[in-house]
């Protein structure tokens, strides 16, 4: 059952309870020979018993419907505020419809919104810190790799130069060239 139907049913039950009380008071204040006399007594050509039931029943239906519509409006208002929080939108600061019955709930909604904002800020800060740490770690890895490559390149070049120097020494000592210009250039290369 929806809100309006529940409130109408409640209003009708309360109206018939009220009708029973009114009829009982009428019966005891104006003693009749029996309850059957209430069906025979007329007011504006309508039996008094049915008039009381009709008036109170109508009142119950109308008041239940009005209260149900009012309650549904208040509930929709709260649902809209919750939807704002879920969607990450700020709550309306100046509530157009201030619902006194839900003051406590509105305050709690504002506290929930504040906590969500604080959690969002904390999450963003943690993500930023982790990103910075990962960037720093990546830069350290790149620097270590550069240093490793530089050492390997240095070692390789040193070995090749040493090998070339040894070969030049062997050439100079084993079978030296006769031309003094070539001999001088080979000596410079060896050093």
35-51 pLDDT, tens digit each: 666 667 777 787 777 77
Same-domain pairing of 115 and 184 = yes
CA–CA separation, 27 vs 19, rounded Å?
12
Average pLDDT over residues 124-135: 94
* φ, ψ (nearest 5 deg) of residue 42: -125, 150
Q: How many structural domains comprise the chain? A: 2
Tokens at residue 16, please? 């018939």
Question: Could you list the residue range(s) of the whole structural domain that residue 72 is in?
Answer: 3-97
Domain boundary among 97, 129, 149: 97
Contact 137, 162 (CB under 8 A): no
pLDDT of residue 152 exceeding 80: yes
DSSP 11-56: HHHHHHHHHHHHHHHHHHHS--SSTHHHHH-EETTEEHHHHHHHHH
79-90 pLDDT, tens digit each: 887 787 777 777
Domain boundary among 56, 71, 97: 97
Non-local (6+) Cβ contacts of 90 within 8 A are 84, 113
Residue 140 lies in a domain: yes
pLDDT at 143: 94
**Global model pTM greater than 0.75:** no
Same-domain pairing of 9 and 93 = yes
Same-domain pairing of 119 and 188 = yes
pLDDT of residue 155 exceeding 70: yes
Same-domain pairing of 91 and 112 = no
pLDDT of residue 92 exceeding 50: yes
């Amino acid at each position: 059952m929806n809100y309006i139907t529940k409130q109408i049913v409640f209003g009708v039950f309360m109206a018939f309870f009220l009708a029973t009380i009114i009829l009982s008071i009428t019966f005891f204040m104006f003693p009749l020979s029996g309850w059957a006399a209430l069906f025979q007594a007329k007011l504006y050509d309508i039996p008094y018993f049915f008039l009381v039931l009709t008036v109170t029943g109508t009142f119950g239906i109308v008041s239940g419907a009005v209260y149900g519509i009012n309650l549904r409006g208040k509930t929709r208002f709260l649902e809209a505020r919750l939807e704002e929080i879920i969607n990450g939108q700020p709550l309306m600061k100046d509530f157009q419809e201030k619902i006194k019955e839900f003051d406590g709930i509105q305050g709690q909604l504002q506290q929930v919104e504040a906590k969500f904002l604080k959690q969002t800020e904390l999450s963003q800060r943690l993500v930023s810190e982790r990103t910075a740490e990962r960037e720093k770690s990546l830069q350290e890895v790149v620097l270590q790799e550069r240093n490793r490559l530089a050492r390997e390149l240095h070692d390789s070049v040193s070995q090749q130069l040493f090998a070339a120097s040894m070969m030049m020494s062997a050439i100079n000592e084993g079978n030296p060239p006769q031309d003094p210009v070539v001999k001088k250039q080979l000596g410079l290369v060896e050093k």
